[in-house]
Copies of this chain bind each other. A is one copy, B any other.
Amino acid sequence: MRHGPCRICLRFAMSRLPYMPSYPDHGQPDWNLTGLVQALRTSREHTHKVRHRGRLRELPSRAVLQDILHGLACAMFPTHYGETDLTDESIDYFVGNTLNRTLNALRGQLRRGLLFLSDDDAWTSEALDAKAVEVTRHVADTLPEVRALLVSDLRAAFQGDPAAHSISEILLCYPGFLAITYYRLAHVLYAQGIPLLPRLMTEIAHSKTGIDIHPGATVGHSFFIDHGTGVVIGETTIIGNHVRIYQNVTLGAKRFPANEDGSLQKGAPRHPIVEDDVVIYAGATVLGRVTIGQGSTIGGNVWLTQSVPAKSSITQAQMCRD
């Protein structure tokens, strides 16, 4: 969540806390550290244990994943997200060097993420290493394709917002574009069956933008989210091409299918299907596995839990005057 130029400092981020000089008359108090450490250990190990199968696993790092996302964005749009003074001569050196660092870091995080596979016990360490390298290569090979989709999103934003004056403005200023960029990268990992990391990646975008797109969602080309704060797009949502949505739109689940034992079915289809050329205005909430037909318009603040045919126009009941 926070950064500094030195990786060592990052890992010992607590060392950033200032040395607090003792007040002259009092000295540093005794905090009973031994007792506190013991009480927290008891909570961790016995009374309130949440450790996975009793083992410690090397965990992915949110800070490193954030750098990886930034690095991949730099490789795709080097002048806007990388260095502001690149020239035609220097740009490829920057891209190649950034890719090299980023892919090495991605490989390391993938290796950690793979420990969250439900059958991770069945893998040898070498097999996990090889899988991490294989998926890293796949991400790298997919970058031009992801960039092509993102350029379609840039053009959709430019055409869809009268306040936009240049493509650079969208690249630098539009939170929706950042959220879509991180989602599209996370979705590549999700489609490869990688656990945990894709969610961490879209959550980094959520924290920066207020836009929460689950990496499992399927999103067509030319997607535009304007303003975007409060947008939620659930795991099994399917969105077509040329769709435009505004702030505070929820594409969510209405109810959660349960297994016979009452536990929730993980991953069951439960979010909306939004067909091509749909516009959904601010604050609309669409819940359940409903279909919004091609070319429909959903008005602001509408609460919708049933399918609507193509070219529908749905608005909220009118307000009253007291």
* A225 on the B face (CB < 8 A): no
A235 beta carbon closer than 8 Å to chain B: yes
With a CB–CB cut-off of 8 A, which chain B residues contact A1? 70, 208
One complex includes copies of this chain to the number of: 3
Interfacial chain B residues near A78, Cβ < 8 Å: 44
Chain B CB count within 10 A is highest, among A17, A48, A151, for A17
* Cα–Cα distance between A312 and B319 once the two chains are bound (Å): 12
The reply to whether B143 and A36 contact each other, CB–CB distance below 8 Å, is yes
Alpha-carbon gap, A79 to B54, bound state (A) = 13
Task: Flag whether A192 is at the interface (Cβ < 8 A).
Answer: no
Q: In the complex, A287→B246 CA distance in Å?
A: 13
- Closest 8 pairs between A and B when the two form their complex, measured CB to CB: A4-B5, A3-B3, A162-B264, A5-B9, A48-B151, A285-B300, A7-B18, A59-B84
- Distance in angstroms between the alpha carbons of A72 and B38 in the assembled complex: 15
Complex alpha-carbon distance, A143 and B36, angstroms: 8
Query: Which chain B positions have C-beta within 8 A of A70?
Result: 1-2, 13-14
A148 touches B319 (CB 8 A): no
Question: In the bound complex, what is the Cα–Cα distance between A195 and B164 (angstroms)?
Answer: 11
Chain B nearest CB: distance from A100 CB in Å?
6
B25–A15 touching, CB < 8 Å: no
B17→A64 contact, CB < 8 A: yes
Q: Are B148 and A175 in contact (CB under 8 A)?
A: no
